[in-house]
Chain A
């Protein structure tokens, strides 16, 4: 399916919970209401015409006024790809986990939590994945300040 057809399908099914889309770039994307992400994820995974059986990437982006979670989903059956985005408030970014849809989301969400502090509600094991467990702050946030010391090692 072309991105336009995918967008039409999503729009038809979810209506105003898909508030915005852009289809002209290299990576066509739709904005998804954060409250509906699990439902949308389940839909694109299960739908016979979409079959997005592969979560290619799940990442965070810090735009200074908001935090975005980006889901790049891919169909290994039909070879089409689409991007879903969710905008979250910067001071308390929380969103439902999609672990139950794509198992691989487990580690991706842990990484997004580690780097941006996004809380994935319902995640089975939300720990830091790269930084040490006692690390302070979220390194990829724009306002991150370097720690002066870690244990007794200067940074």
Chain B
């Protein structure tokens, strides 16, 4: 993820840089503001005061993909929407991450067999970092997914992978 990734020799400078980058990225993963179905209601609840997404620095929903760092795909991805989701994802600036929220966006959910209009998982069109199961997931689940994503971001490095 990102243009710098895997470009440098591993040394003490790189380690410190990694720490700064990852601290910055994982501390303010601003989500793109869009919801597709009932999962979006849970996402809104997560953003509101009881669950308070702002505790994790992710409460600033951006109305434009240019300013967003993560995309929470909350709800049923129809084929019509799939095209638009791919475009929104491509418009986001690197580094960008995707949380797939709920059964529908994980694999089509209840529309798996008879949904002629539903994409069978958003990972058919964009790469997904974290899958949050549930129908819809409770806010705690989404928070857990976000924490998993932050762990994933903290493990990133700009160092080249050793040949071992």
List residues of A whose CB falls within 8 A of some B CB.
131-132, 139, 144, 146-147, 150-151, 153-155
Contacts and interface: CB of A to CB of B under 8 A. Distances in A.
Contacts, number: 26
Interface of B: 79-80, 82-83, 116-117, 119-120, 124-125
A131 to B, nearest CB: 7
A153 B125 CA distance: 7
Contacts of B80: 131-132
Nearest to B116: A146
Given A131-B80, A132-B79, A132-B80, A153 B116 contact: no
B82 A153 contact: yes
Contacts of B79: 132, 150-151, 153, 155
A150 B125 CA distance: 12
Nearest to A137: B116
14 contacts: A131-B117, A132-B80, A139-B116, A139-B117, A144-B116, A147-B116, A150-B79, A151-B82, A153-B82, A153-B83, A153-B124, A154-B120, A155-B116, A155-B120
Contacts of B82: 150-151, 153
A155 to B, nearest CB: 7
A147 B83 CA distance: 16
A132 B119 CA distance: 14
Contact of A154 (B83, B116, B117, B124): B124
A146 B116 CA distance: 6
A150 B79 CA distance: 7
Contact of B119 (A144, A147, A153): A153
Given A132-B80, A150-B79, A153-B125, 16 more contacts: A131-B80, A139-B116, A139-B117, A144-B116, A147-B116, A151-B79, A151-B82, A151-B83, A153-B79, A153-B82, A153-B83, A153-B119, A153-B124, A154-B124, A155-B119, A155-B120
